[in-house]
Structure 1
Amino acid sequence: MDAGHQTDAAAMSTATAEVLARLDAHARAIATDAAAGVADGRSRRRSRHPAGESRRAAVHPSDDGDRKDYPAGAAHGEGSLATLVACFGLTPFERDLLVLCAAMELGPTAAARCAAASGREFPTFSLALAALAEPHWSALTPDAPLRRYRLVEVADDGVLTTARLRIDERVLHFLLGVPQIEPQVQGLVARTAAPGRLPESQARLAGELAEAVSADGVAALSGGDPQTRREVVVTAARAAGFGTFALSAADLPTEPADRVALARLWEREAVLLPAALLVEVSDPAKAPAAEAFVAMLGVPVVLSSQDPLPAPTTQRVHLVVAPLDQAEQRGLWRDALDGRGGDADVAALVAQFSLPGHVIRAAGALAREVGGDLRAAAWRAGLAHARIALDELGRRVASRAGWDDLVVPERQRGILHEIVAHVRQRATVYQDWGFEDVLRRGLGVTALFAGGSGTGKTLAAEVVAGELGLDLFVIDLSQVVSKYIGETEKNLRRVFDAAERGGAVLLFDEADALFGKRSEVKDSHDRYANLEVSYLLMRMESYRGLAILTTNQKKSLDQAFLRRLRFVVDFPFPNQAERAEIWRRVIPPRAPVDGVEVERLAQLTVAGGSIRNIALSAAFLAADEGTELRMRHLLAAAHTEYVKFERSVTPTEVAGWV
């Protein structure tokens, strides 16, 4: 048994001996009165207490319904009993009553001594009022500490004065110096581990939060991602002398009475541990329940959320986790790569990714484990971590196509290469050369890909993403746009916030769902439509990656919007020579062919997307027949493709095919 446990055991042994001695004295007095036949024995027994210390009905001063500041707890060297008395502000009578209940669990003779003193083999309030010093009725009121914090439980099997009293098991373990947590909160709260060394800006924030929690007890933290906020809170709580437990607002009871019960239980736990509580609000709909729960607590608590929560009726400190600056990210990457990454490698990683510290540490660990080209491994690890948030918001397209797969005029190809250069060299131009200080705004790389269906817009985006070594996420704007005011902006913000980590290539498909000639405001719908477009363009311009819009109807877009885009790439309908080149590239060299003439196939007036569909369908027809791919298979597939557009294949297009 360690010194702390020995101190706790000794303190409890002394306290229980004193309380049981009072019971013995009371039992002897009863026996003396009975033997002497004194009719007014009760009055004489009361006279044993000094004047003014008899049963008084004064209201306990511990709780007037307002928030209280609880001390962090006494050191174990003073004994757990002293800690509990100090933290909950127990009166001497309440302390002795609690010890009497503990004696029933610890002393084999306690039941018999209770029976001798009261006729019942267990502690009761009437026994305590009669036998213990400085009694007061308010000790067992519902809002007094013994019952408010469930230090003592009253059996629901009789009147208050004669009901069985029992110490709570969690409190008994605490008094004996046995570390434990209340079983009823174990499934709701989780202990949070201490993080490693925080970046300087977050360490300063943790210091501010520690002061706020120590002074006011309640603070709010927003910004960053949940894990980063958790690391800041744990560091702050540790600096303030607390452990940290986390609770999800989604797990809070729905019934107010159940929330009150949980609040009382946690207040007791916070005092006994001692610990701060981190309430994490991931769903804004759960914010009211979280606020109501926090309002009942008088112990250190931090509300964590992505966005600031509505201001409550009471004042509290609100702090924000800011993104890490590039110097901090470089330091984190160097540490994560264990010093094995060169300055150029680290600079490239910082230029591309904007990851939280815990993600950088995880990516670096994964890169070291994989080995080989450390920069390539770290890049892949960064992509893997960054894409987690986007996978549920968009469709990720694996970038397998290269420049040779893209058939577009040289002018368009040149613009695409220019887009790649803007993304790849943005760190050099903006930071190293100082253009960021001069321009300040519109630093994001934005592009509009305009052209008919199947002309290669998505393929071009895939080629650009592959050249940059980035993920391509296709976001369907028709699914993002909402008829409810404010919802479209909220959906767009989620997309861009998630994409910021890895600077993914964002392809907003069907821009016509949002863009259009709406600069002339005729009604409220037009005004909000303009706001939505402006918000999208603003986020695109500030986005650190590449954001691409696609449209089939460039003429319907307002010129004021087009001027805010850095690149506009027109994808024209392919001419016959370009169609022939697409046909050559779309049929694999390994495919068995017989008599397939590319120049005749190019007579079909269809775009690249349809060419790919026809070639694939014809290949399945040939494979099903067990023969080589022939022109008749391609003719049958062409008829099927034309049906989709409610067109018919003309004799001119298929002249000489069969």
Structure 2
Amino acid sequence: MTEENAASPSDAVRAVLARLDEHVEGVEPDTALPCPDALEALASCFGLSTFEREVLLLCAAMEMDATTAGRCAAASGSSRAFPTFSLALAALTDPHWSALAPVSPLRRWRLVELDEESGLTTGRLRIDERILHFLLGAPYLDVRLHGLLRRPPAPESLPPSYEAAAERVAMSWADGRSDAPLRVELVGGDERTRSDIVTAAAAGCDLALYAMDGTDVPTDPAERDQLARLWQREAVLLPAALLVEVGEPDREQASAVEAFLESTAVPLVIASAEPRPSTRSRAERVLVPALDNDEQLQLWREAFAEVPDVSDADIANLVSQFSLPPHVVSSAAAAVRRDASGDDAVGLAWQAGLHEARMGLDELGRRIEPEAGWGDLVLPERQMRVLREIVAHVRQRATVHHEWGFSSTLRRGLGVTALFAGGSGTGKTLAAEVMARELGLDLFIIDLSQVVSKYIGETEKNLRKVFDAAERGGALLLFDEADALFGKRSEVKDSHDRYANLEVSYLLMRMEAYRGLAILTTNMKKALDTAFLRRIRFVVDFPFPSERERAEIWRRVVPEQAPVKDLEPALLAQLTVAGGSIRNIALSGAFLAAEEGEQLQMRHMLAAAHTEYLKLERSLTPSEVQGWV
């Protein structure tokens, strides 16, 4: 603090004390000097009258000047050696009774506190500690807000799309309307991205930014009102803006947040991943934009500029796969720099991207680490050819869509979608795992029977969460049990059929727009409406395996290192079961042999086959075990 700044409040205090001295016989008052800028700022921002300003200074004098207590006692002609309202009314300029009303600026904004037990006029007046330090040029966040508010980190830079969103937030503050003063709703993106945008907006307006969670807003009306007033005072003193981050609060908490927003007339942003349902006046809404391909390329180039052996072609491949916000790309690059040993920086970058992208999906589906390869699939050549074609569509989409310009001519329906149809155990999930491994992607299995809700709108909400999270890394999405949602729904008989059609249409729309690979599985292809099937790019039928194919599955399912004796795949293939059951029988037979301490033999397979058939509610026929029993 400079000497000049330290002296200014004292000068103003001496001017007020001089008015007290006028009421003490034989004391010559000091000469009044100009008031400091901090006092003028308080008076202007909180609308203080001349009298209220001098009351505030009188209370400040009690803390700043050791002679104030004696002067107050002498001026009031009593033993009250402290400021009181009666003393202020008698000694200060243009007194008025409303200055100490609970709704007046002095008490509404807690600039001074009154000892009410001693009475309105004779109770002690005390300046709030935060206000005193503000007058003395020592600004800080009120300690009563510590733990509730935090300072978000400032981004080093933002992509142009995010900068434009930050400018819209700042402009909305500047153009605050009477029905939504200085209030902005920021929707979309992840929490850190929203914070970066608002931080940039606040910096552009020369404001500090503080953030709080919507769950910390008190549900008690009195506590909430106190918090709102305290923050509004801080927003003026600092000055600052507030970011309130809301997730999915319950009804009571949502009402509390809404009431808090309504009572806060300072620059504020309410941020969420989804638009907030509200019956009250809405704030100006700003959407977090999706970064286009060029912005993503620039992000990755800048983040990996110091990582060796990562070429522009490698960056293009990474961008074609991952759509990550700037802070996540920076985190991925930092992970590569820490772990890179000069061997495979590109592979590390890919794995870092997968790690960052999978965080939002882990709680929405079952992730499978893909290990199976093409050699583990036993399918007719026609189906294998289609599966490889699907992989080519995913792998080359950056070349075809962007380099060759098909995204500008087709615009919609660029997502790679497939339907895998076939009975249980025919290899649908295994095929998806093989493709995920070939593409270097995570495989997430989403059970549609768990996603579909009987409540209107909930199914779309659940699907939106899945696709929004998956967009970050283009994971391979396998929607299991599509029959739970699909069916011959085109004939609308009641409202439930109409909403079921909307749910199916929403799923197909998101699949068509999805930048990764989305696969539906079904056991009942004939139950699906042909109008829906036309919107799927690939349809792959997984037939029940023939005896020759079953024999090949048996050959591949038993590991080479397993101790076997007289196992005959051709005879085992007589069991009329699909690949999934074959794997179950082989594994169960191995456990039986291991328990006996014997080599794996046909009798172990027979016992395991009996168990599997009981599960399938079937019985072994003589033709199935002919020649090996």
So what's the TM-score if we normalise by structure 1?
0.89
Q: Deviations over 1:111-161 (max 9, x none)?
A: 333333332132211111112222221111122211111111112313211
Matched, 1:342 2:311: yes
Gap runs ≥5 in structure 1:
32-47, 49-76
Which residue, 298, 302, 305 being the options, matches 2:265? 298
Q: Structure 1 pair 314/27, CA: closer, same or farther in 2 (3 Å)?
A: farther
1:62-211 aligned within 5 A: 79-118=37-76, 119-211=79-171
Using the alignment, how far apart are the partners of 1:78 and 1:594 within structure 2? 99
Deviation at 1:237, TM superposition (A): 0.7
Matched, 1:359 2:356: no
> What residue in structure 1 maps to residue 6 of structure 2?
9
Q: Partner of 2:211: helix, strand, or coil?
A: strand
Q: Deviations over 1:214-260 (max 9, x none)?
A: 34222222222221121111111101110101122221111222221
In structure 2, give the amino acid aligned to 1:99: L
> What residue in structure 2 maps to residue 52 of structure 1?
none
User: Contact (CA 8 Å) 2:165, 2:289: kept in 1 or not?
Assistant: no
Using the alignment, how far apart are the partners of 2:353 and 2:575 within structure 1? 45
Matched, 1:278 2:243: yes
> What residue in structure 2 maps to residue 590 of structure 1?
561
1:619-638 aligned within 5 A: 619-638=590-609
Deviation at 1:274, TM superposition (A): 0.7
In structure 2, give the amino acid aligned to 1:270: A
Matched, 1:240 2:205: yes
Using the alignment, how far apart are the partners of 2:593 and 2:608 within structure 1? 11
Which residue, 435, 448, 457 being the options, matches 1:464? 435
Using the alignment, how far apart are the partners of 1:454 and 1:309 within structure 2? 43
Q: Structure 1 pair 315/397, CA: closer, same or farther in 2 (3 Å)?
A: closer
Q: Structure 1 pair 301/160, CA: closer, same or farther in 2 (3 Å)?
A: same
Which residue, 436, 453, 460 being the options, matches 2:407? 436
Deviation at 1:551, TM superposition (A): 0.5
1:185-584 aligned within 5 A: 185-216=145-176, 217-283=182-248, 285=250, 286-310=253-277, 314=281, 316-338=283-305, 340=308, 341-371=310-340, 372=342, 373-584=344-555
User: Contact (CA 8 Å) 2:215, 2:249: kept in 1 or not?
Assistant: no
User: Contact (CA 8 Å) 1:211, 1:240: kept in 2 or not?
Assistant: no
Using the alignment, how far apart are the partners of 2:569 and 2:352 within structure 1? 43
Q: Deviations over 1:474-523 (max 9, x none)?
A: 00000111111111111111111111111111100000001111111112
Using the alignment, how far apart are the partners of 1:198 and 1:614 within structure 2? 57
In structure 2, give the amino acid aligned to 1:278: L
Q: Deviations over 1:546-583 (max 9, x none)?
A: 00000011111111111111111111111112111111
Which residue, 25, 28, 36 being the options, matches 1:28? 25
> What residue in structure 2 maps to residue 36 of structure 1?
none
Q: Partner of 2:165: helix, strand, or coil?
A: helix
Using the alignment, how far apart are the partners of 2:585 and 2:125 within structure 1? 84
User: Contact (CA 8 Å) 1:277, 1:302: kept in 2 or not?
Assistant: yes
Q: Partner of 1:475: helix, strand, or coil?
A: strand
Higher mean C-alpha displacement, 484-493 vs 315-324: 315-324
Deviation at 1:422, TM superposition (A): 0.5
Q: Structure 1 pair 312/195, CA: closer, same or farther in 2 (3 Å)?
A: farther
User: Contact (CA 8 Å) 2:9, 2:36: kept in 1 or not?
Assistant: no
Using the alignment, how far apart are the partners of 2:124 and 2:594 within structure 1? 85
Using the alignment, how far apart are the partners of 1:377 and 1:214 within structure 2? 45
Q: Structure 1 pair 642/125, CA: closer, same or farther in 2 (3 Å)?
A: same
Deviation at 1:287, TM superposition (A): 4.6
In structure 2, give the amino acid aligned to 1:393: L
Q: Partner of 2:618: helix, strand, or coil?
A: coil
Higher mean C-alpha displacement, 491-500 vs 205-214: 205-214
Using the alignment, how far apart are the partners of 1:316 and 1:461 within structure 2? 45
Q: Deviations over 1:359-382 (max 9, x none)?
A: 112112222222232222221111
In structure 2, give the amino acid aligned to 1:17: R
Q: Deviations over 1:449-481 (max 9, x none)?
A: 011111110000000011000111100000111
Using the alignment, how far apart are the partners of 1:255 and 1:211 within structure 2? 33
Q: Partner of 2:622: helix, strand, or coil?
A: coil
Using the alignment, how far apart are the partners of 1:498 and 1:491 within structure 2? 11
**Quick one: percent identity of the two aligned structures?**
64
In structure 1, give the amino acid aligned to 2:424: S
So what's the TM-score if we normalise by structure 2?
0.93
Q: Deviations over 1:295-343 (max 9, x none)?
A: 2122111222223335775575322221011111111100000155322
In structure 2, give the amino acid aligned to 1:345: D
In structure 2, give the amino acid aligned to 1:202: Y
In structure 2, give the amino acid aligned to 1:297: T
> What residue in structure 1 maps to residue 179 of structure 2?
none
In structure 2, give the amino acid aligned to 1:255: D
Higher mean C-alpha displacement, 346-355 vs 310-319: 310-319
Number of residue pairs aligned between Structure 1 and Structure 2: 611
Using the alignment, how far apart are the partners of 1:253 and 1:311 within structure 2? 19
In structure 2, give the amino acid aligned to 1:122: F
Q: Partner of 1:448: helix, strand, or coil?
A: strand
In structure 2, give the amino acid aligned to 1:245: Y
CA-based RMSD of the aligned residues comes to 2.1
Q: Structure 1 pair 345/538, CA: closer, same or farther in 2 (3 Å)?
A: same
Using the alignment, how far apart are the partners of 1:364 and 1:134 within structure 2? 66
In structure 2, give the amino acid aligned to 1:561: F
In structure 2, give the amino acid aligned to 1:178: A
In structure 1, give the amino acid aligned to 2:15: E
Using the alignment, how far apart are the partners of 2:442 and 2:36 within structure 1? 60
Q: Structure 1 pair 616/300, CA: closer, same or farther in 2 (3 Å)?
A: same
Q: Deviations over 1:421-451 (max 9, x none)?
A: 0001111111211222222221111100011
In structure 1, give the amino acid aligned to 2:156: G
User: Contact (CA 8 Å) 2:474, 2:515: kept in 1 or not?
Assistant: yes
User: Contact (CA 8 Å) 1:125, 1:163: kept in 2 or not?
Assistant: yes
User: Contact (CA 8 Å) 1:8, 1:175: kept in 2 or not?
Assistant: no
Using the alignment, how far apart are the partners of 2:398 and 2:611 within structure 1? 49
In structure 2, give the amino acid aligned to 1:264: R
In structure 1, give the amino acid aligned to 2:460: E
Deviation at 1:394, TM superposition (A): 0.7
